[in-house]
Structure 1
Amino acid sequence: MNDDDPTRRLPTLDKSGSATAGPSDAERPPREEREESGVGGRARRFWAARRVPAALVALVVLGAAGLLLYDVAAVRADRPAMAWRKRLAEELATRHLDDVWVLAGAAVAVALGLWLLLLALTPGLRAVLPMRRSTPDVRSGLDRAAAALVLRDRAMEVPGVQSVRVAVGRRKAKARAVSHFRELDEVRGDLDTALGDGLRQLGLARRLALSVRVRRSAKR
């Protein structure tokens, strides 16, 4: 075992005072697996509350149901039905299934249904990146804009970098830098090292891929 390995666990002392060696490298899971799952379990994406779509659907259903119940109660009380219900019943009875308006209404209904199913089956909150879990009862996330700001500050510390733009996605971080001195290959290598260390220190559950591009600043 390499004595310089920073991940090696040091021996611990039990109550009797004897030294107990930590788990060997063969007993520990791979580093990538430990980073994705964390000590407290696998870190999954955060689910959005979907308050706005849920409120809109609830209002539409409530309004339609209330209006229909009112019209049915009025008919039961020997009052004439509303004009819109008579017109709707007439249109449904006379129009054929291959009519343009019938097909358009069906397409809209299918699209709305698929949209609602997509909202129900996907987590949402794409702007929040899950972080490694250290305890089972605690979940944490990092905003993508905040992660990009941290990486941008790390990139600006590299000598030769004049300006840089960093975009952090769910699976990849992209850095576009402008250098005003030093060789571009040297700047790119230092940026790879600095941003790679920055990504590891963010503590994200999933290791993001890194893309770095460096160009020379325009001469004035």
Structure 2
Amino acid sequence: MTAAARRGTTTVSERAVRRIAERATTEALPGRTAKATATVRGRRAELSLGVTLPYPAPLADGVHDVQRHVVERTRELTGLDLPTARVSVTSLAAPRHSRAPMSPTAETDSPGTNSPRAPARWWSRRRIPLTVLTSVAALGCGALALDLIQVHTAHRAAAAWRVSAVHWLSGHGPGDPGVVIAGALTALVGIWMVVLAVTPGRRRQSTVHTAAERVDAAVDRSAVESLVRDAVGGVAGITAVRVRVRRRRVTVRARLAFGDRAQTSAAVTAAARAAVSSCRLRREPRVRAVVVPEPLWQPPVPAPVPATAVATKGVAQ
């Protein structure tokens, strides 16, 4: 019998993990597609998903079901160690099926359990800046190493660009304008990389509370804007709504066509606060609502007092 060490190894590519995760997301959300990114290091995998959830539906519960089903199916089919999956809600859409998103291994969360503390912000991996910086550094170091190898092994003359660079540097000191400009640009790039390293990024995403352990969920602010816009648009007398969601404040500007302005403003504020609260954001922003009357808006005329009521009042006096 062949020894286990001589039978070979099975390697699961990142592309296979990504396709399996996307297929598992389709199983949990029938009719929906997902975009996944996967990283495989040995027997351990990391997975991130961008999904579209049906509306209306609880965001935290939907993310929990998708995350749990994708993790279990990916572990089962790949055999890799997948601790968890990061699920990002990229948009909301009207449900295409009459049933809610299902999970084959669905387990109900106890209603009385306390939600674990959600992270303040999701950190971006800074793929584009890292790729650009790595590519430039690799090209420069690779060209220099190749030229040095050719000079010392093949006994060739140094490349013209390296000779020109050495001659230019030997004739220009620290006070030369070209050296100063190059140093300033290098310092700006360094400051930019430091800022990217110490800031989380993903400013358009806000984390939400979940009832499950080891589940981190975030919702795009455009989805919160859509929820608030739909909620405020259902208030009687409102014709147009503009919503802007920031980290600490939600600003709502609504146009009033008819009705009492004070009552409508209170209704708009209540509807916006209810929509924001339903998202279960970790840091719930303040709501500021402004109701602007349309040019043709007229204040409601008080209802006339019936003559019988006036007569009754006079008799009582």
Is structure 2 residue 145 aligned with structure 1 residue 69? yes
TM alignment of 1:46-57, pairs within 5 A: 46-57=122-133
State the match for 1:81 in structure 2. 158
Q: How big is each residue's C-alpha offset from its partner over 1:77-132, in whole Å with a ceiling of 9 and x where there is no partner?
A: 32111111111111211112111111110111011111111111111111111001
Secondary structure in structure 1 of the residue aligned to 2:134: helix
**TM-score between the two structures when normalised by the length of structure 2:** 0.55
Aligned-pair distance for 1:183?
Answer: 2.5
Among 127, 141, 150, which residue is 2:204 paired with? 127
Q: Distance in 1 between matches of 2:277 and 2:254?
A: 20
Contact persistence 2:257–2:296 (CA under 8 A): no
Aligned-pair distance for 1:49?
Answer: 1.9
Tell me whether 40-49 or 61-70 shows the greater mean CA deviation. 40-49
Q: Distance in 2 between matches of 1:39 and 1:156?
A: 31
Aligned-pair distance for 1:67?
Answer: 0.2
State the match for 2:257 in structure 1. 180
Secondary structure in structure 2 of the residue aligned to 1:108: helix
TM alignment of 1:1-220, pairs within 5 A: 39-76=115-152, 77-219=154-296
Q: Distance in 2 between matches of 1:43 and 1:50?
A: 18
Q: How big is each residue's C-alpha offset from its partner over 1:126-167, in whole Å with a ceiling of 9 and x where there is no partner?
A: 111100132231111111001100000000111111110111
**TM-score between the two structures when normalised by the length of structure 1:** 0.79
Return 5+ residue gaps in structure 1 as ranges. Answer: 1-37
Q: Distance in 1 between matches of 2:259 and 2:296?
A: 15
Contact persistence 2:118–2:208 (CA under 8 A): no
Q: Distance in 2 between matches of 1:93 and 1:183?
A: 79
Q: How big is each residue's C-alpha offset from its partner over 1:3-37, in whole Å with a ceiling of 9 and x where there is no partner?
A: xxxxxxxxxxxxxxxxxxxxxxxxxxxxxxxxxxx
Identity of aligned residues (%): 27
Aligned-pair distance for 1:47?
Answer: 1.1
**Amino acid of the structure 1 residue aligned with 2:204:** A
Tell me whether 100-109 or 134-143 shows the greater mean CA deviation. 134-143
**Amino acid of the structure 2 residue aligned with 1:185:** A
Q: Distance in 1 between matches of 2:142 and 2:126?
A: 24
Q: Which has the higher contact order (CA 8 A, sep 6+)?
A: 1
Q: Given the superposition, is the C-alpha separation of residues 42 and 139 from structure 1 closer, same or farther in structure 2, using an over 3 Å criterion?
A: closer
Q: Distance in 2 between matches of 1:187 and 1:41?
A: 36
Tell me whether 40-49 or 56-65 shows the greater mean CA deviation. 40-49
Secondary structure in structure 1 of the residue aligned to 2:289: strand
**Amino acid of the structure 2 residue aligned with 1:62:** A
Secondary structure in structure 1 of the residue aligned to 2:251: strand
**Amino acid of the structure 1 residue aligned with 2:150:** A
Q: What's the Cα RMSD here?
A: 1.5
Contact persistence 2:118–2:216 (CA under 8 A): no
Contact persistence 1:43–1:133 (CA under 8 A): no
Aligned residues: 183
Secondary structure in structure 1 of the residue aligned to 2:219: strand
Contact persistence 1:41–1:136 (CA under 8 A): no
Secondary structure in structure 2 of the residue aligned to 1:137: coil
State the match for 2:307 in structure 1. none
Q: Distance in 1 between matches of 2:198 and 2:122?
A: 13
Q: Distance in 1 between matches of 2:166 and 2:286?
A: 58
